[in-house]
Amino acid sequence: MADLFDTAPASGEPARAVARPLADRIRPARLADVVGQDKVLGPDGPLGAMLHAGSLSSLILWGPPGVGKTTIARLLAQETDLAFVQISAIFSGVPELRKVFDAARLRHQQGRGTLLFVDEIHRFNKAQQDSFLPHMEDGTITLVGATTENPSFELNAALLSRAQVIVLERLSLADMERLAQRAEKELDRPLPLTAEARDRLLEMADGDGRAALNLIEQVMAWRVPGKLDTDQLAQRLMRRAAKYDKSGDEHYNLISALHKSVRGSDPDAALYWLSRMLEGGEDPRYLARRLTRMAVEDIGLADPAAQRHCLDAWALYERLGSPEGELALAQATIYLALAPKSNAGYVAYKAARDLARRSGSQMPPKHILNAPTGLMADQGYGAGYRYDHDAEDGFSGQNYFPDDMKRPVFYLPVERGFERELKKRVEWFAGLRQKRRTEDKA
C-alpha cells in the first residue's frame, strides 16, 4: 500500500516519463565533441597522445566547474573499454571505497580494467588518498580524479607522483556559443533573445558550460513571443555570482593579479582585479593591508608618500565603511600603479637579514659601544669614537660594522622618483667615507 509520500502511479495508471535536463540530453558521445578542451584532447595534447598510444595512465583533472571533467572521464573509459565507476568524495568513506576496490579487483581477475572516477577528490583526507595507491600500482584501477582546487596544495605527493595532472580551462564565449547552437538544435527552435541579450546570457554562465545550458533551458521554457532584449532578460534572470573562494585558489590568483598589475604600472588592470575581489565578497580590510604592503615592497622610497596614501585610504575605509570607503581603496590602487617603482629597500632589507643570520654573534666595534662602568671603559668601550656633529660636514666616516666583517652594500637606490635624490646622497656619503679613511691613514 502506498504511503503519503509515495509518488508511484496508482495501479493501472501509466507512468509519466521525467524529462531529462538539457545538459544531460546533449552530453557529448565522443571525445571529439567535447567543447573547449582542444589543448588536452587534440592529437598533440596529453590525452590525445595517450589514446593514440593506447595507454591511459591515472589522471587528475583540474579545472573550474562545468568544463567537462565528468564527461571526459566517462568518454575515456568508453574509448579504452574500461568499466566506468563513479564515486564522490563528498558522499564516500572507507567502507564504500573498500567495496569499489573489491569489485575492481574481481573485474581485473576476469580480464577487464576499471576506470574509477572520483569527483571532488581533494575532499578525501590523507589516509583515504593513500588507500588508492596500491590499487593504482598493481593495475586494479586507473584513477581519474576531478578537482576544482590546486592539486599541489590539496593532494598527497605520493598520489600526485602516480597521476598526471591535466589542466582544463574555463569555457570561452565562443565555446558557449557552440553549446547554445547545440541546444537550439536539440530543442528545435532558436533562443528568443536579441544578439546582445544572447551574449549577456552566455556571459552570465561565467565559463561554466553546465550553467550555460541550464540558463538556456530556463529561457526556452518561457515560450515568450518575439525576442527579449538585455533589460528584459535581466528582469527575469539573476546574474550568477562570480566564482570566488576567499580561502582558496581563486583568492590567491586574484590578489597575485592585483599585485602584479600595480607593480606593472597598469592602473586599469589593477582596478579590474580590485573590483573582481570586492565583487566576490573579499574583506576590504584585507585589500587595504595588501595595498599597503605593495607600497612598501614595490614603491618604497621612490615615493615615500605612497605608504601614507595607503594608510589614509585604510583609515578612510574604517570611517566610511562599504561601499563608500571602497572608493578610497580604489584611489590608493590608482596612486600605487602610477607611482615610480623601486624594490631597492625591500632587497636591501632581505640581504641584511640574510647576513645577520649568517654572521652569528659578532660584536659591534668597541668604539661605538657605550661605557657606563669603569670596567667597560678599561676594556676600550667607546675609545676613539668621533661625534659626527663635531666632524666636518657632520660626518665622521667611522666604521659601524663588526671589525672582522668586510663592509657590505645592501641599499642600491634606483634612478626613479625620490630615490634619485637618495642615490645622490648614498654616493656623496660613500665618497666622503673614503676620503675620511684616506685622511685617517695619512
Model confidence over 361-379: pLDDT tens digits?
A: 888 988 888 888 888 888 8
pLDDT at 81: 92
What torsion do the CA atoms of 30, 36, 37, 41 make, to the nearest 10 degrees?
40
Distance CA 71, CA 368 (A): 73
Q: Are 130 and 158 in contact (CB under 8 A)?
A: yes
185 contacts: CB under 8 Å, gap ≥ 6: none
Ordered strands of the 59-62 beta sheet: 83-88, 114-119, 141-147, 59-62, 164-167
What torsion do the CA atoms of 356, 360, 364, 365 make, to the nearest 10 degrees?
-120
Indicate the DSSP class of residue 113.
-
The DSSP H or E segment spanning 145 is: strand 141-147
Buried b (16+ CB within 10 A) or exposed e, 37-51: beebbeeeebbbebb
What torsion do the CA atoms of 343, 348, 351, 355 make, to the nearest 10 degrees?
-170
Peptide bond connecting 323 to the previous residue in cis, omega within 30 degrees of 0: yes
pLDDT at 9: 53
Q: Are 413 and 301 in contact (CB under 8 A)?
A: yes
At residue 263's C-alpha, the angle toward residues 261 and 268, to 5°, is 35
Query: Which stretches of the chain drop beneath a pLDDT of 50?
Result: 1-8
Q: Are 85 and 116 in contact (CB under 8 A)?
A: yes
- Rounded to two decimals, the pTM is 0.68
Q: Which three cell numbers stand for residue 440?
A: 685617517
Distance CA 292, CA 313 (A): 10
Indicate the DSSP class of residue 189.
S
Place of cell 617603482: 341
Distance CA 220, CA 330 (A): 40
Place of cell 568518454: 75
pLDDT at 403: 87
The CA R_g of the chain, rounded to the nearest whole Å, is 33
At residue 40's C-alpha, the angle toward residues 242 and 70, to 5°, is 60
Distance CA 332, CA 288 (A): 9
Distance CA 304, CA 191 (A): 56
In terms of DSSP bridges, do strands 141-147 and 59-62 run parallel, antiparallel, or are they unpaired? parallel
Q: Which three cell numbers stand for residue 103?
A: 569489485
**Angle, nearest 10°, between helix axes 209-220 and 195-204?**
130
In terms of DSSP bridges, do strands 141-147 and 83-88 run parallel, antiparallel, or are they unpaired? unpaired
* Closest CA relative to residue 18, chosen from 26, 27, 8, 10: 8
Buried b (16+ CB within 10 A) or exposed e, 60-93: bbbbbebbbbbbbbbbbbebbebebbbbebeebe
* Closest CA relative to residue 169, chosen from 203, 207, 132: 207
What are the C-alpha distances in Å from 222 to residues 180, 191, 218, 227, 284? 16, 10, 7, 11, 40
At residue 414's C-alpha, the angle toward residues 258 and 412, to 5°, is 110
